[in-house]
Structure formats: C-alpha cells, structure tokens
Structure 1
Amino acid sequence: MSASTSSAPATPRTADTLGRSQVNVLMWSMGAGFAALYTAYAGLVVVLLPTQIQNLDAAAKESNLALVTMTSSIVTLFAQPIIGALSDRTRGRLGRRTPWMLFGAVGATLALLAISHATTLLWLTLLWVAVQVLLNVVQAPLTAVMADRVAPRRFGMVSAFVGLGSNLGATLGVILAARYAGRLGLGYGVIAAVVLVTVLAFVLLNRDRTRPEAPEPFSWREFLTGFWVSPRRHPDFAWAFVARMTFILGYWGVATYQRYALQDYVGLDADAVDSAQQLMSVLALVGTLAGALPAAKISDRTGRRKVFVVGASVLLALSMAIPLASPTLPAMYAYALVSGMGFGTYMSLDMALMTEVLPEGSAAGKDLGLLNIATNIPQALGPIIASVLITSFAAGSDKLPGYRVLFVFAMAVVLVSALAIRPIKGVK
C-alpha cells in the first residue's frame, strides 16, 4: 500500500508557510541543528567509540567495532520513520516536532554521560544503541521541518545550509573528540552539551505550530501499512532510496575505519593519529565550502538537482582512488579534501532532492524517515563489510591489502549511487 494511505494529514509543500525573515532564521537554525547532530555522529563514530573499543580489546578492535555499530544500526533501523510518523500525529501546545526533539536531546545527553563508564562490550553496546536511538528521535522531526514550513523554490538553499551544517558539525566533532580521545568522559560530555544546547536554542527560536485539525482515529493497520511505499507507483522515491543507500554504504565503510586506517594502513602512532584526524576534518570542511554553496545557488537558480548529486557521487568515488594508489599521510589528506567536496555537495542538495520525491499527499515526517532507512541500512552493513574485507584480504599482520580492497569496494558502490539518480524523472 502506498504511503498516501497513512492516517497522518498531508503536509503541504506548495506554498510558503513562513515569511522571509522567519525562513532565514529557520535556515540558520537547521544548519546549526544538523551541525550539532553531526558533531555527535562524527565525533562518536570516528574517534570516541573506536578509541573506547580499542581500549577494551585492541586485538579484536575491527570485529568489535563492526558488532557494536551493526547492532545499533539494526535497532535504530525504523526509529526515524516511526518517530516521524508519531510526530506527524502529535498535537499540543508545543506543536508536532518540538516535544520529540526535546525528549531526544535530553535522553541522548543522559546516555552520552553514561557511556564513558561502560567497562564491558555488552554495556558499551547497550548504551551506544540508546545514544543512536535518541539522536534519531531528534533528527526525524528536525528533518521534517523543511517540508512543513519551506516552499519548494527555497529547498536548495535550506538544504545547502543543512549540508554545510552537517559537514561543519562532522569537522567540529572529530576535532573535539580527537582532543579528548584520552579523556573519554569529558569528550562524551562536551558532545552531549553541544546537542542539548543547540536543540534548546532551535525550539526557542523557531516556535512550532500544531495543526488545527485532529488526526484521524488511530489504526494499527493504517499505521503499519503506511510504511510501505510502492516502487511501482512511486519509482522516483524508490530510486532516491537506492541512491542514498549506496552512497552512504561506500562513504561510511571507509569513514568508520578512518582511525584504524591511519594506524594500520598509513602506519601512524596514536598521537599522530589524533592530529591527523583533526587536520583531515578541516580539509574536508574546506572541500565542502568549495563545492556545496556554489552548487546550491546554481541548483536553485536553474532548478536542477540531479546533475550536482551525480557529480558529487563521482567525485567521492574518485577521492577514494587517492589513498588506494598511495598509502601515505599526504594521500589521506588529499582524500579528505576531495571527499569533503563530493560528500559536502551531495549532502547540500540531498535533502532538497529527497523532499521533492516524496509521494503527493504523504506525511512528511514518516516518509522522510523512511528515506533515512537508506542511511541506517548502510551504517549497519558498512562496518561489517569493511571488517570482513580488511581481515579477509590481510596478509597476516599486514592489513594494507585489506584496506585496498575496501577502497575499491567503496568506489564501486558510490558509482552505483550515481547511476541510481539518473532514472528519477520528477526532479531535473
């Protein structure tokens, strides 16, 4: 059954619901909101979590990291569409999205303060799952805000701010986390504070509004079947799902093992890894700034999205050829710069494209959450595939062959993403 049968009211996406000044405030606020989320995602996944896992058992770090990230990704697989659907139906003085964002921010803060005290892999996994679920509780309603309140003609620039915020947050997250890699409790606490303060500021500056009409009577059948979007009836939605899934699969498999790659592929010691990760994050941000804003401006002016998303996918694939050809620190720096340009440009227009392929009459929170399953699935599979490739193709203790295979695999699936964008017909 199509998503259009969902019991949640349709979200109009054809006219402005905010004035120009309000849109500007919302645009900057959404950038800040996603910056906070990606500060958490990148700082935790790229630095703090791998460090804590390595501290528990250095010999099994690759497999343990894959186990923890796979478990959390599976558990959170449907978190965003479910929370999105519930926020679509929420009514109250605080509006639809705000209550969920506040709950997720407070809960994630508490879970982050607790995770640094985990001394076994089991407790680390359970707390990591809680952190991921609660961050998804923030992200699902935040993602739907653009569809709620912004006219389609402004999607490009708002999406660009989201993409820039995401990349700025990823840079800040790695820099902060690398600085506190030797003091895990403080590192987790700083990231928790960033998320909590930013979400509080967002809801204060952008007052949510409840829908005047009551939601239709709740039906479990309608609720559950509403999570199915027919690929035959909505092929653009399906192709967008495949494109995002393969793009994230290629990117995430490499990004999750970046710290270990610097150790085992490039040959750096622990202190050098911390500084290298910080500089790589800065270079990735430079690449993002060079590509994302110009692409967003041209995209809004011309109304074209696909060419930029396809180009960004190709650019990310090319960036992975650099360390493949040379397992050196300068090559990793070059990879960070070029991949930042590709990933940043993609993320700056991804939300605009995704919002434009939503089925007509859909519930934006749920359907954008469904598209975010295309992020969660590769986040579950990426580390597992990377771990298998690294260990299976390693020559004894020499892991260089395994990392080379990983880079080739990542390049291939990212190019599949570029191919999946082309059949989308409803977006130029």
Structure 2
Amino acid sequence: MHAARLGALWFGIQVVWTPILGVVLQAQVSALAPADAVGRYAVLAGAGAAVATIVQIAAGVLSDRYRARIGHRRLFYAAGVAVSLPAIVAVTAAPSLTVLWCATIALQIGMNAAGGPFAAIVGDYVAPERVGRASSWMSVNQFCGSVVGLVLTIVLHAIALGIALALLLAAGWWITDRAVAPLAGTRSGAPVLRLDANAWTVIVSRALINVGFYTLFFFLYFFVRESLGVADAQTTTGILFLAFTIAGVGGAFAAGRPADQLDKRVVVSIACAAIALAVGAFAAAPTFPVALGCAVGAGFAWGAFFTVDWAIAYAVLPAAALASAMGVWNLATTLPQVAAPAITKPLVGYYDAFAYGLGPRIALICVIVEFALGTVLLWRVRIPR
C-alpha cells in the first residue's frame, strides 16, 4: 500500500484547515466585527481549539476500542467528514458572528472526530522500519493540501470557496477509504493507554514548538495588514502561506530518509534553528518581497520538522493504544491553538498602543522564543533510531 493514498484524507483535512484557520476566520471576524477583530478572533480560535481537544481525545479512545473489535477505524473517518462538509460551507458564508461561531464549533467536532483516529493510520498499516518514509508522505499530503487550500483562498471567496474545500475533503476521504477497505484489519484485546515520561516530554516539547507555529499562523494576517500596511491583507496572507507551504513540500521530502537513519533530535534541532532565523528576519521585514523570502525559508524548515515530528510520535507512543495516544499527543496541537492567542493577543495590543503595527512584529519574536524552548526540551528524550 502506497502511503500517498493512505494519507489522502490528511490532504483533504489540510485543504480545509489551512485556509480556514489561517485566513478565512480572521477575514470573517474582521468583516463582521471590525471594531475589535483581534480580540473576538482570539476568543473564537481558543473556543474552537478547546472543543477540538475534547473531541480528539474522545474519538481516539473510542476508535481504539472499535478497532480492537472490528479491525479498522473507517467509521470514524466517514462520520467526521459527513459532519464537516456542511460546516465548511457555513463558515465561509456566515452572515453573522452567531452563525460563524456555530459553524466553527461544528467544524471542529467533525474534523477532529475524523482526524483524531486518522492520526494512527501509519501505525495501523505501515511496518516500523518504513515509518520515517511513510511520515514523509503524510507531511507531503499535509503541505500539498495546504497549497491547494491557499490557492483556492486566493481565487475563490465566500460560498464558492466553501463548496470547493468541502468537495476536496470528500475526495480525500474517498481515496483513503478505498485504499484501506481491502487491507487486513487488526483485532486485539481492549487497549490500555499508558504514557511514560519519555512520551510526556515529547508532547510538552511539541506543544511549545506548536505555540510558536500557531502564533505565526494566527497573527500573520494582522502582521500583513498592520505591519506591512497591505491593503488586500487576505490575498497577501494567502500568498505568503502559499509560499510557506510549497517550500514545506520540499522540506518534507528531504527529511524522510534522515528521519529513518539519523538521531531525530538532530534533524528537529536543525529545522527549528532554521525556522527561528527565518522568522526573525520576517519580524524585521520592511516590505512584502522580503517577507516572501522569509516565508519560503521558514516553510522548507517546517516541512522537515513536520516529517520528523510524525516519526518521533510513532517511535515513542504505545502501539497497542495508538489512536488514544495520538489523541493525547495532539493536545500538543490543539492546546497551543488556545495558548497562542491567549499569550500573544495582550502583547499585540500593548505594543500596538506605542506604534501601530509593532504588536504583530513582537508576536513573531515570541515565535522564536517558543521554538527555542521546545527544541531544548526535546534533547531530554530518548528516541529510538
């Protein structure tokens, strides 16, 4: 089974999440509540991430039990996608903040009901000696999905964008479902989740790094609008994310073999150092062309990090309860979505009071600190090669 087909649903998930979380929600809140867009967006993003945290853990535990009896997790993929499809369209076309809130929460429920169990798919079907390469394909699917989503964000708007994103999510689910259907399932006794200190250290390290990533992800729109002074902030932010994610495909490919052959901590450290340098230059960027070059450098390094991130998870988490473990591991993705706006929004407001546009630049400095802390902590982990 080729990992590219196995990971097609991940492509569809990223087609949706990258534009929704990176551009659409910010633009919708800015249009519907222009007086306090940053504050209202921070609350919405935090609430959505809190829902995602609960759903991912619950779906992971339930899917482990389901797989122990049935041999696969396909029901969770299908049900989650079915809930997500109308919610995607509603988010992009919401006429009020109330509708936007309801649609966002529904989208978090559906996407995480599918995405939490899906995170275990490599462990379910791929031999241990090929996990690094399979993780590389998961990363490639992620970044390719992000590229497609951002291109659509640039060329489509409102309900047309929502329909296109929903169709691609459905297509990704169908390809993965057809790939998994003929494979032999694995039944076992009821799984028991146990995480050792090594696993918890990886989770905390990943959380710190992801606080940095989501600070960049959530506040880039406001950096473009305020700090660079670009009139069409939605399109320009989409272009920057597009450059970031296209470069990420190259980084994801490049890191696949090193993730299998080298100390994974070394690969992560190199990638995070490169990201910190690129983001530091980004924070000082006076113009869009300079910011674009920084986005390319940061994207390549993030692609490499993401590949090794998956490989580390499969190396240290318990295989017998992998979806449950991945649900906890994904706390290091969802909780940073709460922490990033909670930490950064007051700083942005404080420094913007001194000079309009300074706040988002300070947010990018926070990204460097958070990446550095996560990388240092990772060296306390014993990771099998």
- Shorter chain as normaliser: what TM range? over 0.9
SS in 1 for 2:59: helix
Give the distance between the partners of 2:78 and 2:279, measured in 1 at CA.
38
Look up the equivalent residue of 1:33 and give its one-letter code.
L
Tell me the TM-score normalized by structure 1. Answer: 0.84
1:366 aligns with 2:324: yes
Give the distance between the partners of 1:228 and 1:178, measured in 2 at CA.
44
The 5 Å alignment of 1:14-33 reads: 22=1, 24=2, 27-33=3-9
1:310 aligns with 2:269: yes
Checking the alignment, whether the CA contact within 8 Å between 2:226 and 2:357 is kept in structure 1 is yes
The alpha-carbon deviation at position 78 of structure 1 amounts to 2.5
Checking the alignment, whether the CA contact within 8 Å between 1:265 and 1:403 is kept in structure 2 is yes
The alpha-carbon deviation at position 412 of structure 1 amounts to 0.2
Q: Which residue of 2 aligns with 1:84?
A: 60
Pairing partner for 2:175 from 186, 198, 201: 201
Tell me the TM-score normalized by structure 2. Answer: 0.93
Pairing partner for 1:166 from 109, 127, 142: 142
Q: Which residue of 2 aligns with 1:377?
A: 335
For residues 260 and 426 of structure 1, do their structure 2 counterparts lie closer, same or farther at Cα, with a shift above 3 Å needed? closer
For residues 260 and 403 of structure 1, do their structure 2 counterparts lie closer, same or farther at Cα, with a shift above 3 Å needed? closer
SS in 2 for 1:425: coil
Look up the equivalent residue of 1:344 and give its one-letter code.
G
Counting aligned pairs with the same residue, the percent is 21
Q: What is the RMSD of the two structures over their aligned residues, measured on CA atoms?
A: 2.1
The alpha-carbon deviation at position 179 of structure 1 amounts to 2.0
SS in 2 for 1:393: helix
Checking the alignment, whether the CA contact within 8 Å between 1:146 and 1:155 is kept in structure 2 is yes
Give the distance between the partners of 1:45 and 1:190, measured in 2 at CA.
16
Pairing partner for 2:163 from 169, 189, 202: 189
Look up the equivalent residue of 1:416 and give its one-letter code.
L
Structure 1's unaligned 5+ residue stretches are: 1-21, 217-222
1:235 aligns with 2:211: no
Give the distance between the partners of 2:68 and 2:268, measured in 1 at CA.
38
Pairing partner for 2:364 from 407, 410, 414: 407
The alpha-carbon deviation at position 291 of structure 1 amounts to 2.6
Give the distance between the partners of 2:112 and 2:7, measured in 1 at CA.
17
Offset from partner CA, 1:365-400 (integer Å, 9 cap, x none): 10011100110000111123222211111136x432
The alpha-carbon deviation at position 290 of structure 1 amounts to 3.5
The alpha-carbon deviation at position 159 of structure 1 amounts to 0.4
For residues 36 and 304 of structure 1, do their structure 2 counterparts lie closer, same or farther at Cα, with a shift above 3 Å needed? same
For residues 347 and 92 of structure 1, do their structure 2 counterparts lie closer, same or farther at Cα, with a shift above 3 Å needed? closer
**Bigger radius of gyration:** 1
1:115 aligns with 2:91: yes
The alpha-carbon deviation at position 318 of structure 1 amounts to 1.3
Checking the alignment, whether the CA contact within 8 Å between 1:163 and 1:349 is kept in structure 2 is no
For residues 237 and 37 of structure 1, do their structure 2 counterparts lie closer, same or farther at Cα, with a shift above 3 Å needed? same
Checking the alignment, whether the CA contact within 8 Å between 2:16 and 2:169 is kept in structure 1 is yes
Give the distance between the partners of 2:68 and 2:206, measured in 1 at CA.
34
For residues 227 and 92 of structure 1, do their structure 2 counterparts lie closer, same or farther at Cα, with a shift above 3 Å needed? closer
Q: Which residue of 2 aligns with 1:124?
A: 100
Offset from partner CA, 1:326-357 (integer Å, 9 cap, x none): 23212210221111012111111111111111
For residues 123 and 317 of structure 1, do their structure 2 counterparts lie closer, same or farther at Cα, with a shift above 3 Å needed? same
Q: How many residues align?
A: 384
Pairing partner for 1:280 from 221, 240, 248: 240
The alpha-carbon deviation at position 362 of structure 1 amounts to 3.7
The alpha-carbon deviation at position 93 of structure 1 amounts to 10
Pairing partner for 2:210 from 236, 248, 251: 248
SS in 2 for 1:363: helix
Q: Which residue of 1 aligns with 2:151?
A: 175
Give the distance between the partners of 2:258 and 2:185, measured in 1 at CA.
34
1:98 aligns with 2:55: no
Q: Which residue of 1 aligns with 2:257?
A: 297
Look up the equivalent residue of 1:135 and give its one-letter code.
M
Look up the equivalent residue of 1:250 and give its one-letter code.
G
Give the distance between the partners of 2:155 and 2:222, measured in 1 at CA.
17
Give the distance between the partners of 2:367 and 2:154, measured in 1 at CA.
25
1:323 aligns with 2:285: no
Checking the alignment, whether the CA contact within 8 Å between 1:247 and 1:413 is kept in structure 2 is yes
